[in-house]
Structure 1
Amino acid sequence: MPDVGDLVTARLEVEPADQTTAATLLVTRPDGTTVSPVVTAAESSGGVWTAPVVYTLAGVWRLSWTVTGTGASVEHQLVSVAPTPGASAGAGVRVYATTTDLANYLQAAPPLDSEQLLGGASRMLDARVLRWCRYDVDTDGRPTHPKVITAIGRAVCAQVAWWDEVGDSRGAAGVGYGNVSIGSVVLGRSVTAVSGEDSPARQIAPQVWDELRDPELHDLLFIGAISAAGG
């Protein structure tokens, strides 16, 4: 699977093909815009055309070849492009800890997908914990006091550590299903299994509360009635 920024050579082989055969390529980006790269016929092999394509956006790209003359046809290819490794979570998303913070918290090398895990933990705590807390923030909604910054960062790391402990970060392990058939194979699982929201991965890690209720945060961070609010 290519990543954003990759330059690839799109290739089309047509059989049969002769001197009347020609090919063009229309590339449709994930945002719906299109580009028509220069197509070159391979001199050493009849019926082969190539074109350079630069993947500038993450998402699904469509490569549409149109062949005229002998071998006339229209062929489409879908290409899934991954974000640049380590890309930010996106505009407006607050991530409260870095991979260095996580390594120091774990006292071990962090997992390779740490950035995604930290982003997910930050969003989870934003939605289910921090929205019910009071503390000083800047114009972007980030904490400003050093002790609060440290505490929230450690809370995010604690959530990631919890996911590592339970072996799941999405709650998928707790989703139940009945009988599922894949060809001739039937998989069964108790339908009484917990739902995704009830799984351990969707629980706030106990250590999160320890970090946010540190005595040093007295008068700096107030936690409201989260349980009463449905957090």
Structure 2
Amino acid sequence: MKPFHKVHSSAIFNLTITGVFLALSLIFFLLSHQKFFTWPIASSIGLKIDLSTLFILPIFVSASIAYGIVALIIRFILGPFLNPSISLEIDYFGNFILLFSSCIFIFLFLSFRYVFGFKKEAKTQIITEDHKYKFDKKQAIKLMLNLLVSTFITSIILTIFNAFFFTPVFFKLFKLTDNINPIDLAQQWLTNKKFKSFSLSLNYFVWAFVLYFPFNLVNFTITSILFYGIYLVMIKSHSKMKKSFKY
């Protein structure tokens, strides 16, 4: 059983880490909705590169899964109010997609730590006062492979969900269709004038793959590259930060 002062110190450290990274996540959530981050293919659809997940993942790694889940929920609740559009219903559905996407990527990353031989506990991957974790080239390669595989699988999963569920629901919310059946949407895809501006003259399911797979691949590749840098910084600074929370 841990002494009370150590538990207290650990809780304060976790809360501080969560607060800092959650604040950064919300800031980049706002920035990611600027025109600069709009995906160029079929831009009228409104896909945007989102970097807010980049700052949620370190919470899972350096604090705990529980703190990370709380951060995801807070971002989901606050998101529609930080960047409101024409409908709260549409905003929350968009934030649900972001929540779903983040969960897929993060939990794949956490699961693959075991596959690639990482420590069982996320915290033991960081330098602590009691144990020095050596982050060598072998571990760097494992981390890169983890991020690469997580990115690829996440992109495939999200492309499927976008084609069969998310896009039909969005079109229904925007009153472009009467139902959320992807088969009905595919049948009228090239004949309905409402879809002409962004259909790219492709079959619906081909269009969904051409649009969503590269988008998700780029989105989470950027997140992975930047997280790799953050991870290296965390390894070097984690022990010093922990020491500053001694009581």
TM-based fold match above 0.5: no
Q: Relative contact order: is structure 1 or structure 2 higher (C-alpha 8 Å, sep ≥ 6)? A: 2
TM-score when normalising by structure 1:
0.31
Q: Name whichever structure is richer in helix by fraction.
A: 2
Q: Name whichever structure is richer in strand by fraction.
A: 1
TM-score when normalising by structure 2:
0.29
